[in-house]
Every structure is written in structure tokens, then in C-alpha cells.
Amino acid sequence: MSRLLLLCLLTVAMAAACDTADEADSAVVGTWRLLLLEDGEGDKTVTLDKAAQSLLITFNGDGTFTYTLDFVRTDDIVLKGAYELSGVSLTLRPQGGDVIAGEYVADGTGALLLAFPDSEAARLLGPGYSGTIRMSFIRDR
């Protein structure tokens, strides 16, 4: 009897953990448009706006993502691959590239906040950014 009770408790605990992970995944699924960009020197939204037409990131329900920084005059930055969420950690695994690790906050209200360390700034934004980068997004579609 005690084994059956223990098995039931473990099953309920595992189901609850899966539901929490599913809720986190569903909170980021969709296409997001950059609203605000900050680095170690402060607000860089205007600087990026002069150089780029848009920055979009799409998280798909199947665990894949597409990141597109559409520059006006130079080659775009496009990353595609898989993503993983764990707690507040976001891991991007671009095809043919090194892992990009950061943090995220998405509460299902249509806003998404991503933060990446200085080492990832050039890969995500190009040259000219320093310190931790913080990106605020709004749901695009």
C-alpha cells in the first residue's frame, strides 16, 4: 500500500513539473518584435533603429526558433535552431553555431524580456554593443 501511495505521489509531482514547463514554453511561443534595447552603456534603441528595420524572434511550439535582425544597409543576422527553457534560463542552439545562453521573463501578458551576457552581444547585434544586453519585446503575431 505504501508503495502504491509513493508511486501516486511521484506521478502527481512529475505531472505538475511538466505542466509548469509547458506553461513556460507556451508563454514564449509566437513572434516577438523588439521594443527596447539596452546594454552596459544604457538605452541603445535609437542606435539600433538607425541601423535596422526590425528585430524579430519567433519561438515555435516544437522547440525551434528563428532570430532575424533586418539591417538597412548590411547583411542581416539570421539565426535558426533549437531553444530550451529551464527556470529563467534560455538556451539558443543555432544551427552550425555555438550555444547562446541567457535569461528570459515571459508572463503571458504579451511582453518578453531577454538578457544576454556581454560575450553574446556581437553575435546577436553586431559590433558596437558592450555589457549585458537587455531586450524587451512585444508580441508581434
Burial class (CB in 10 A: 0-12, 13-18, 19+), 36: middle
- Would you place residue 45 in the very low, low, confident or very high pLDDT band (cuts 50, 70, 90)? confident
* Mean pLDDT taken over the chain: 82
Highest mean pLDDT among 6-15, 80-89, 107-116: 80-89
Quote the domain boundaries for residue 117. Answer: 2-139
Question: Following DSSP, what letter does each residue of 8-66 receive, concatenated?
Answer: HHHHHHHHHHHHHHHHHHHHH-EEEEEEEEEETTEE-HHHHHHHEEEEEEEE-TTSEEE
pLDDT, tens digit, 9 for 90 and up, residues 103-139:
999 977 889 999 999 889 888 988 878 789 999 999 9
Record the pTM: 0.79
* CATH number of the domain where residue 66 is located: 2.40.128.20
Number of domains in the chain: 1
pLDDT at 20 (0 to 100): 38
pLDDT at 18 (0 to 100): 38
